[in-house]
Amino acid sequence: MAQIETELQLLKTEAVNMWTLVNSQLSKARQAFLSFDKDLAREVVLKEKRVNGSELKIDRDCENIFALFCPVAIDLRFLLAVLKINSNLERIGDIAEGIAKYIIDAEAPFTQELLDITRVLPMYEEAVLMLEDTQEAFEKEDTVLARGVFKRDDFLDGINKASNKVLEAHLKAHPEDTAQALWLLSIIRKLERVGDQSKNVAEEIIFYLEAKVLKHRNKFA
């Protein structure tokens, strides 16, 4: 095996490990949200440093491969994709940390009625599954699975768009829930961004495998 192939394989392993770490962060923040577990939320916040460290390590390794091997064709596309995916994953890690901080600062668990009407729990579950699908698509080099992420993002967008009116109607009858409603609205906005970042990752996977640039296109083949 050529040296560049060895280096690219090591880089892919690093990227998968970064994915696994970010997946864990998002899932643990979800569990902290479900159980109102402030200790678990604090663990997510503390581990964010590992996410940042992994991002910097992958960036440096990409730069070294560029400098040493001057990659072309599919190797170049792979490196470009990993650089962008790495950035997207770091942002999802930031989102998980942000959600965890909400749990730490909140004074009481969210009411079941608010959780039900906003549909934030199924939204969160779908966001986690989308991120897991991008990882599987990357590992298996599966563009069909990557494309499936685009349609699934519509589910998150729908909940996000409906949240303002849903919460406005609820607060007219229950003004005492204003603080919790604002917390939930912030979490919903963050989950919508997880969907956007997962879409970006899916685009990069397809770019790497098919040399197609999908960004800024309204329809996907």
Give the pLDDT means over successive 10-residue stretches in the chain (221 positions): 91 98 98 97 97 97 95 93 98 98 93 96 97 97 95 95 96 94 96 98 95 62 45
Task: List the one residue out of 123, 140, 146, 141 whose CA is nearest residue 193.
Answer: 123
Task: Evaluate whether residue 126 is within a structural domain.
Answer: yes
Q: Within a domain: residue 123?
A: yes
| Rounded Cα–Cα distance for residues 195 and 156 (Å) | 7
The pLDDT, as a whole number, for residue 219 is: 47
Asked whether residue 216 is assigned to any structural domain, the reply reads no
On whether residue 221 sits in a domain, the answer given is: no
pLDDT at position 220? 45
- Which pLDDT score, from 0 to 100, does residue 17 have? 98
pLDDT at 216: 58
Please classify residue 175 by burial: count the beta carbons closer than 10 Å to its beta carbon, then call 0-12 exposed, 13-18 middle and 19+ buried. exposed
Q: Indicate whether 50 belongs to any domain.
A: yes
Give residue 35's domain range.
3-210
Q: Identify the three-state secondary structure at position 36.
A: coil
- Residue at 154 is within a domain: yes
Total domain count for the chain?
1
- Residue 68: which CATH number? 1.20.58.220
What is the model's pLDDT at position 177? 93
